[in-house]
């Protein structure tokens, strides 16, 4: 899954982009959760990084929100 796909899913669930520095976008959800999503030229996000993003947003978006 690419960074753009993850970002699209996160924004669809109500989170917003707070800022971007280079190829990293910081997003924040209404419940206060925050994480960084890497946007590296269409490459897939490594599975460990993807899982960390999922865990960081689970309190706000609910369990299994990325699937």
Give the model confidence (pLDDT) of 33-66 as tens digits.
999 999 998 899 999 999 999 999 999 999 999 8
Q: Which of 22-26, 30-34, 38-42 has the lowest mean pLDDT?
A: 38-42
* For range 14-40, the mean pLDDT: 95
Class of the CATH-defined domain 3-61: alpha beta
Annotated domain spans of the chain: 3-61
* Residue partners of 24: CB distance under 8 A and separation at least 6: 36, 37, 38, 39
Residue 56 in contact with residue 34, Cβ under 8 Å?
yes
pTM over 0.85, yes/no: yes
Please state, in angstroms and rounded to a whole number, the distance separating the CA atoms of residues 17 and 30.
11
């Amino acid at each position: 899954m690419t960074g753009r796909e993850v970002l699209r899913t996160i924004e669809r669930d109500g989170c917003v982009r707070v800022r971007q520095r280079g190829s990293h976008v910081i997003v924040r959800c209404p419940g206060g959760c925050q994480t960084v999503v890497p946007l590296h030229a269409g490459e897939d996000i490594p599975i460990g990084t993807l899982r960390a993003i999922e865990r960081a947003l689970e309190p706000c978006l609910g369990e299994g929100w990325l699937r």
